Chains A and B, each alone.
Chain A
């Protein structure tokens, strides 16, 4: 059977375009045009893989080329080349396969964000040497001190008392963390506490003043110790990086200012993850409080006080619009936490 097709011939030496006609004769391809008359054995021709709407290229010996839009003829002539990409091209041509691909990508993204990424981050955090964790914690504290926190104004006795509270919470914990309490006055952070990787817990003076008794402080500290033991800080950072990478892989193509465009979904993602972590840290706190002979009820109490303080602060802020001294977004005790009422309920139920 003779296969014929029209093509354009380029000799590979100049950009001159020559219209030619190609036709098979046994195991050779006959190429004829105004200034071209060639006989090329099939064995010496290599063909590129098909792509929708893109001209096929047949590379001839010596760097010459045939280009043709006749995909069918090329496929008939060279049925066995580029098996892999031929299969791929078939997938690319039909909406049915495209829909299947959408499913694969969607499922993977969903699985990756809800399970794969958190699990990987958890694993990486666990195998990461303690030294590194401590180092990251130290660097974070350094950054906090530089940007928005000042040394505590509490007197030495009070500070010692708070440190004893932490010592009590962590007594007998058989982990490799060196727990220490750092007290700070932080602009815009309000009554707040946060755990850094490696065991450092930062508490604001405002929170220390808000608590009515040591038990309430202990409850907050137990929650933060939960964060440390579950390596939440580290895992959040790892998950954020992984999520940003995933989003860049999906949409990075289209977006020239990728950085900013990726920031937004990553942020939402982290908010979701951190809610989960809060619940995890709460659960640890309830357990630990009972172990040290205290009660989750104090956790409920301090939460109630925090919420009341938050509401009061909001009222004053609304009254006096000018008195908003740069609110910190990342560390507010309440914003990223699950609904406070729900947490109070859980604490009371855990008694």
Chain B
């Protein structure tokens, strides 16, 4: 599919551009069976299978996400994930148990874990990137600890001191850190300046919050007589109203941030077009929740697949050159930097 209709001003090299829509070929029935078998085996093996379940699920979705006919690969070793989970569960158990027995040890642990958060984020991003590949070229994540420590702690502190004024800036730095330190083989993800437009999105979100709160207040006030009939029913009503009224805001933020991030990113000769719409996401999430509740969670795979399909459909990759020329990173360098250590902690961090 060759197109040369792009605005010539924005992209001077428009003539040689090729557009690659992201295809998502997963099928609801297929994934349902994988999902339910994963759950059943996880139960029957007392949780041990959960690591394999995670890998099979990710391999299914990666493999069914295709660009130019080629799927992505997820290569993580389930045993590594299992080890990470055992360590995580162990740490969590120690952390919760010491809360009352050993307050000092608990505080020390809390401190260590807080300090370790940047390390954990970087390690998990590195683990996930390293185990993702496309056309037999691995991704890499090469974020520096210093940078994320500065973003989280220093700008976090400044955010508090400025009463939240710096929050969008901090978030934009974090997003840029995560996206911009990824590499496809040797080719770095380059991210443009996000801060100004982050402020735009957050500002509009804030403006949307006002009618949201008013709407919430009115509906809850109208539902007050419910409290006289059934307290449980009233609580369900309030939860639904909260969820329903915050959903547009959530969908707005998610779609705008996601679009902004992808549309500001280039990888060598590649750029991306993300066209998520808030109202689409809102509709998806709302129907997902209803379906999941009504089917006692059995509709979960359906919800997951349709949401991912929608996201893929709204994403296009544009390249000014053939996709054949990306170079793998030196593998020796990869193993030496110890990205395997990241396998100890398998934590998914989104943005």
Encoded as 1 (CB less than 8 Å from any A CB) or 0, chain B from 44 to 69 comes to: 10000000100010011011100000
Quick one: which of B293-331 are within 8 Å of A by CB? 293, 297-298, 300, 303-304, 307, 323-328, 331
Min CB distance B233 to A, Å, is 10
B158 contacts chain A at the CB level, 8 A cutoff: no
**B213 lies within 8 A of chain A by Cβ:** no
How far, in Å, is B135 (CB) from chain A's closest CB?
4
Closest chain A CB from B115 CB (angstroms): 26
Chain B residues lying within 8 Å of A251, measured Cβ to Cβ, are 292, 297, 300
Size of interface on B: residues with Cβ below 8 Å to A: 67
Determine whether the beta carbon of A102 is less than 8 Å from that of B254: no
Q: From A94, which residue of chain B is reached at the shortest CB distance?
A: B33
**How far is A336 from B231 in the complex, measured between Cα atoms in Å?**
8
Complex interface: chain A residues within 8 A of B327 (CB): 13-15
A92 at the interface (CB under 8 A from B): yes
Nearest Cβ on chain B to A155's Cβ, whole angstroms: 32
Is A12 part of the binding interface, using a Cβ–Cβ cutoff of 8 Å? Answer: yes
From A16, A85, A327, B227 is in contact (CB under 8 Å) with A327
Return B43 CB to nearest CB of chain A, in Å: 5
A85 to B60, CA, bound (A): 13
Q: Classify the secondary structure of B's interface with A.
A: helix
Distance between B234 CB and nearest chain A CB, rounded to angstroms: 7
Chain B residue at smallest Cβ distance from A105 = B39
* A233-273 Cβ-contact flags toward B at 8 Å (1 or 0): 00000000000000101110111110011011101100100
Whether A12 contacts B304 in the complex (CB less than 8 A), given A52-B60, A267-B236, comes out as: no
Which of A16, A64, A85, A327 has the largest number of chain B CB atoms within 10 A? A16
Tell me which residues across on chain A come within 8 A of B227, comparing CB atoms. Answer: 324, 327, 329
B305 to nearest A CB, angstroms? 9
Which residue of A has the minimal Cβ distance to B307? A254
Chain A residues numbered 70-97 whose CB sits less than 8 Å from any CB in chain B: 84-85, 88, 91-95, 97
- Is B214 among interface residues, defined by CB-CB distance under 8 A? no
Within 8 A of A (CB), among B218-258: 224, 227-228, 230-232, 234-236, 239-240, 242-243, 246-247, 250, 254
Q: How large is the interface on A (under 10, 10 to 19, 20 to 34, 35 or more residues)?
A: 35 or more
Against B, the Cβ 8 Å flags (1 = close, 0 = not) of A122-163 are: 000000010110010000000000000000000000000000
User: CA A92 – CA B250 in complex, angstroms?
Assistant: 35
| Nearest-Cβ distance from residue B217 to partner chain A, whole angstroms | 14
Given A93-B33, A101-B41, 14 more A-B residue pairs with CB atoms under 8 Å apart are A12-B137, A15-B136, A15-B324, A16-B324, A17-B323, A54-B63, A54-B64, A92-B34, A101-B39, A108-B43, A129-B100, A257-B243, A264-B239, A336-B231
Which residues does B use to contact A, with CB under 8 Å?
Answer: 25-27, 30, 32-37, 39-41, 43-44, 52, 56, 59-60, 62-64, 70-71, 73, 100-101, 134-137, 185, 224, 227-228, 230-232, 234-236, 239-240, 242-243, 246-247, 250, 254, 285, 288-289, 292-293, 297-298, 300, 303-304, 307, 323-328, 331
A sample of 8 cross-chain residue pairs with beta-carbon separation below 8 angstroms, ordered by A number, consists of: A13-B328, A53-B30, A54-B63, A93-B33, A104-B40, A250-B300, A255-B289, A332-B231
Where the two chains meet, the residues of A that have a C-beta atom closer than 8 Å to any C-beta of B are 8, 10-17, 48-49, 51-55, 57, 63-65, 67, 84-85, 88, 91-95, 97-98, 100-102, 104-105, 108, 129, 131-132, 135, 247, 249-251, 253-257, 260-261, 263-265, 267-268, 271, 314, 317-318, 321, 324, 327, 329, 332, 335-336
